[in-house]
Structure 1
């Protein structure tokens, strides 16, 4: 199969209506002609943390969400995309629980990275750890084995708790490759068309490196997993938050990549009324990308925007976001902060709220996203022009909950009536249906307070014009009769 050049939806299994059946009903009732690119269902598997991102297995669906039959049912009308946390699995998984009982005697022991796989004597060396791109204070957790009461230190890149809920997998192990093959074969049986490789940048652990996107070892793994996916007619989407040069290397090797630069760049364009950086970026980026504005985490800043932003200017932009109710995720390791101490990893907010709930600014942002070459993804909160959910942050103590509101069926129905949502649905239909988006893309010259983008193919062409002084957008296009029509976005 090949990825369709149409708009996709990103949603949790329970965030539109409460479960997968409700999601399917909502999709069929309201969005059958909207998400022709597919539905990215954030982890629907049994999980012990991180809202699905600490999965116990990929062979089952969390019962409170539904079953594989529900995924298959969604797959009848939409291409389904799911995540595979290729770097880690839950500590509650049967695999790690067996290891906790039996230690090295467990038949699953080789799935995990005990510290002696890195340091001969199993004792971590501070100087090695200081070079690593850390996501928590220490990259390992200590566990006590039931059978012999001995301590085992096991690699855990992620995790809010100590010990972590997310246990790293040793991708050098044949047993891990066998397990991943089993997961992919199950995806194929259940009509999954695209798999996002979440946290793939962290899979190689090598002393003397940052343990992030370690070359060339990562390409050996990527080639292996690409071969596996291709053999099952599944597309791969590696998810890597990194310096743009790393993304470009993946693109050069033929992989789809995520455009994590666009969300910040569009925000900067609209807040500072200047298209200079945006136009330069759109002229130079790879085109084989998935584009987004919002997601379940936040607007990427460091390391995605490294060397693309001035940190003083970035501080000002971040302060505007904070004034508008956003919260921040910060870089942990000092070595990966900017020399002046700038340490913002992600800006967490609803994209509609960070644009001050200004309908025209929000539509301008979406129009620019949809005109940027690539496959546009729309996050469910953004689809419904949802605003910052401060209550959820207070209740859960998790900053990312600000943009993870669960919509009841009634809330979905109310949101769809909003004028801005109707405007967005109309724009999505245009992006899905207008033929020129399969053609040639051109960034047209324009004043600094304007954006002008063009797509053309054969006799069809469409031109987006955004006035950054007013945030008004319009699309001029050649219609089916060969005349020119104007569409006010």
Structure 2
């Protein structure tokens, strides 16, 4: 049992420090004891050595619990069948997007954090997936559904809930508040104590929680403990940047928000070593990087800028913006890494491209994606205007062609996008609809009137199996080639998430970088033709070590003449390495 009554407990002292900063008017030591009591069934332990947290064999799949449906089984059971039969060991971890009962936003307006949505299955099916893969779950920490018991209690003036909801006064200075939506920030709400104005960062069905009340924090620590008991070992802190509110500020990334992340990190490090924290902060790059803290906040942060820059490069054939960004990206601190992804359940976020792509380049990107069937979502700015917030499109269809129009290179262009992503420093994450080359779901948008539904298709399990077994199907083609390349990647030491990475200065339209294993025994030159024309590559430009035997791991081609000139096909990727893959 964890130590709860000894003043020299290291975790107690650390928790008291966090809590004293967050709640200076409360008894920090008493609060620390309450936190420890929540985890009283777990032994206080030393955090795992940093080198044991991940390796080049790690790869994440992102999916809704019902991305694949079948009339004869619960969606979570069907998902597990898909993983066992088709994905197998190509991936090491599964992110099941919010699986609790919800009222809107496809799971991100949680009604009850302690239950699994019965339409998906139950806790036993969650645990079964966790038995075969590392399981990542969302902690939707900023807000709760307006249909939750907490909000109902808030309106009635009873606990738990009466003091859990964030309020504001109409006269408060909220002019600087950063919003991801164009709806009004405050929701008028009748309560037992009269009319109140409830803070709603996202929608009026998603009411923000008031973390100035320590009881709210304790509630979420109980939720984390429950998820740990069911096998969750990676926690995604959803929309965490908005967590702490203070009128007169942007209410983004406030010091108290970072302190909450540090506290959760302390708890998981001591009571569940090996548990990973990932912060979801879809913001400009320099803001996102702050969530590494001093190696005491998130283990992993999303590489949000990658998706818009990579799509831009593939649609235009220009690599200057992608190269410039990559050269300015710092290596992740020891014990931290990036999560690389090119598509998600939301869309391609454009805020992380601000300051990286010019307004003209962003507009061209928007117009091209619209021509390929995509939609655009906006956000409200402080001056009352609107800016593009995200591109809503299935990535496979976003890459139908280039700024010049559609062409025959969709599959090759798409495979190139995923191959670049999986070779970069960090852990690769594949959205299920990228892995399956799912096109735009226009019917879903029409049915829901929600732009994001375009990339949230629900596959019929029987139809998906037919497509994956049909050698003429684009889904078979893409899935097969991606899983083959993932398998190659898992065997190559230079693709360790923290292996050395340098950007290579090859001429446009090549995007190339060098990775070297942490023990320096193996190198790989990752060369990608980002254009729709054949390009010449001089191997001598790579400065290959003459004494080594070099080959392309993807095609198997050997390079006996290191002065040879290669004809690189449109959107072809090369992994030129000096050591064969492990058997």
Partners of 2:467 and 2:503 lie apart in 1 by: 34
Alignment deviations for residues 159-182 of structure 1 (CA, whole Å, 9 cap, x no partner): 1xxxx2212111121210110111
SS at match of 1:282: helix
Alignment map for 1:190-269 (pairs within 5 Å): 190-214=230-254, 216-230=255-269, 231-233=271-273, 234-254=275-295, 255=298, 256-269=300-313
Q: Judging changes above 3 Å, is the alpha-carbon distance between structure 1 residues 433 and 336 closer, same or farther for their aligned structure 2 residues?
A: farther
Deviation at residue 483 of structure 1 after TM alignment: 4.2
SS at match of 2:187: strand
Alignment map for 1:339-350 (pairs within 5 Å): 343-350=387-394
TM-score, length of structure 2 as denominator length = 0.75
Contact 1:196 1:238 in 2 (8 A): yes
Match of 1:432 among 481, 485, 490: 490
Partners of 1:423 and 1:70 lie apart in 2 by: 29
Q: What is aligned with 1:119?
A: none
SS at match of 1:361: helix
Match of 1:396 among 424, 448, 453: 448
Instruction: Please report the RMSD computed on the Cα atoms of aligned residues, expressed in angstroms.
Output: 2.2
SS at match of 1:388: coil
Q: What is aligned with 2:18?
A: none
Q: What is aligned with 1:176?
A: 216
Partners of 2:288 and 2:501 lie apart in 1 by: 21
Q: Tell me whether 253-262 or 438-447 shows the greater mean CA deviation.
A: 438-447
Match of 2:91 among 32, 35, 47: 35
User: 1:167 aligned to 2:207?
Assistant: yes
Structure 1 residue ranges without an equivalent (≥5): 116-122
Contact 1:360 1:471 in 2 (8 A): no
Partners of 1:113 and 1:469 lie apart in 2 by: 50
Q: Judging changes above 3 Å, is the alpha-carbon distance between structure 1 residues 378 and 110 closer, same or farther for their aligned structure 2 residues?
A: same
Q: What is aligned with 2:370?
A: 322
Q: Tell me whether 49-58 or 347-356 shows the greater mean CA deviation.
A: 49-58
Deviation at residue 354 of structure 1 after TM alignment: 0.5
Partners of 1:448 and 1:86 lie apart in 2 by: 43
Partners of 1:20 and 1:336 lie apart in 2 by: 42
Contact 1:282 1:372 in 2 (8 A): no
Q: Judging changes above 3 Å, is the alpha-carbon distance between structure 1 residues 427 and 336 closer, same or farther for their aligned structure 2 residues?
A: farther
User: 1:87 aligned to 2:142?
Assistant: yes
Q: What is aligned with 1:51?
A: 106
Deviation at residue 136 of structure 1 after TM alignment: 4.1
Contact 1:270 1:471 in 2 (8 A): no
Partners of 2:183 and 2:439 lie apart in 1 by: 32
Q: What is aligned with 2:397?
A: 353
TM-score, length of structure 1 as denominator length = 0.89
Contact 1:133 1:336 in 2 (8 A): no
Partners of 1:53 and 1:76 lie apart in 2 by: 25
Q: Tell me whether 306-315 or 182-191 shows the greater mean CA deviation.
A: 306-315
Deviation at residue 4 of structure 1 after TM alignment: 4.8
Structure 2 residue ranges without an equivalent (≥5): 1-47, 402-409, 470-475, 556-572, 574-583
Q: Judging changes above 3 Å, is the alpha-carbon distance between structure 1 residues 413 and 327 closer, same or farther for their aligned structure 2 residues?
A: same
User: 1:449 aligned to 2:494?
Assistant: no
User: 1:308 aligned to 2:367?
Assistant: no
Contact 1:85 1:198 in 2 (8 A): yes
Deviation at residue 226 of structure 1 after TM alignment: 1.7
Q: What is aligned with 1:272?
A: 316
Question: Does 1 or 2 have the higher relative contact order (CA < 8 Å, sep 6+)?
Answer: 1
Q: Tell me whether 23-32 or 3-12 shows the greater mean CA deviation.
A: 3-12
Deviation at residue 330 of structure 1 after TM alignment: 0.5
Deviation at residue 202 of structure 1 after TM alignment: 0.7
SS at match of 2:282: coil
Deviation at residue 471 of structure 1 after TM alignment: 7.0
Contact 2:170 2:197 in 1 (8 A): no
Partners of 1:459 and 1:94 lie apart in 2 by: 57
Deviation at residue 94 of structure 1 after TM alignment: 1.6
Count of aligned pairs between the two proteins: 462
SS at match of 1:143: strand
SS at match of 1:331: strand
Alignment deviations for residues 253-273 of structure 1 (CA, whole Å, 9 cap, x no partner): 322211110001111111111
Kindly name which structure, 1 or 2, has the bigger radius of gyration based on alpha carbons. 2
Match of 1:141 among 170, 187, 201: 187
Deviation at residue 463 of structure 1 after TM alignment: 2.1
Contact 1:89 1:167 in 2 (8 A): yes
Match of 1:7 among 38, 59, 62: 59
Contact 1:112 1:167 in 2 (8 A): yes
Contact 1:10 1:379 in 2 (8 A): yes
Alignment deviations for residues 321-379 of structure 1 (CA, whole Å, 9 cap, x no partner): 11111100101235386xxx7x1110110111010070111111111111111111100
Alignment map for 1:404-415 (pairs within 5 Å): 404-415=456-467
Q: What is aligned with 1:118?
A: none
Contact 2:94 2:135 in 1 (8 A): yes
Match of 1:294 among 330, 339, 343: 343
Partners of 1:21 and 1:75 lie apart in 2 by: 12
Partners of 2:258 and 2:76 lie apart in 1 by: 35
Partners of 1:107 and 1:322 lie apart in 2 by: 46
Match of 2:523 among 433, 442, 461: 461
